[in-house]
Chains A and B, each alone.
Chain A
């Protein structure tokens, strides 16, 4: 097992390469998911404000 992690003496090149691969792709995948959650939360806020406005003044658009 330790031979596997040693990568024939090239561990300091092989493992960082794989780490970059996973870190960049995970960041790429999570980013739009966070953006989507934030957008929907803002939209719900807008809708709630609009509903409150309509309740105060039903004749307004």
Chain B
């Protein structure tokens, strides 16, 4: 036993423990350290390569085994297109009416100038406790910590937590650590949205601190209230359930996220916007 537990073995154990403590302290004080950035910079091209191979394989798999499903989806989509075209015609009429009313009331349409940077997801955080992913764009593309990631439909995906020269780590809205100021579109009631962390609410969002007299209806849209990080009116999700919270003085709502994280491949980082 003593022979096996040599000085070299003891040194390995001690180095591991010392490194763990030092890295913990340094990263909590200064964020991502240069060795972390270097390892990520080396791993990102490999992850990008593997990720694109996986995507290709998945496409072939879906093509071969998902033909009937695709056919059904195609039929459904054709029906949806017809429905949407009908909606567009109605919307055009409403838009014209709205424009006339706006002119009448002399309201100025507010324009927010968004600057977006497109990026593909190359790796997901593999633990069950955290919801985050890595993209193959970084500070060299103008990204910085705290920038918000959205989909092409203006739905909030998450916020950049760490950034390296060619990679960035994004914590999604599903993570319980992210709290976002939000309001219900129809009623204007405000609250805070965060990732739900109980087992029966996995993959859902929870809107807290709603007034006890707030009327909450299913499928009511919840949007951001706007801050230095988030522009106003980005879609967070839709109300699915509601109740009185643990304190008994305010309400909460369970939301279905607007983003479908299972099929998410590409995100857009909001590098610049005009805050209200």
Are A and B interaction partners?
no
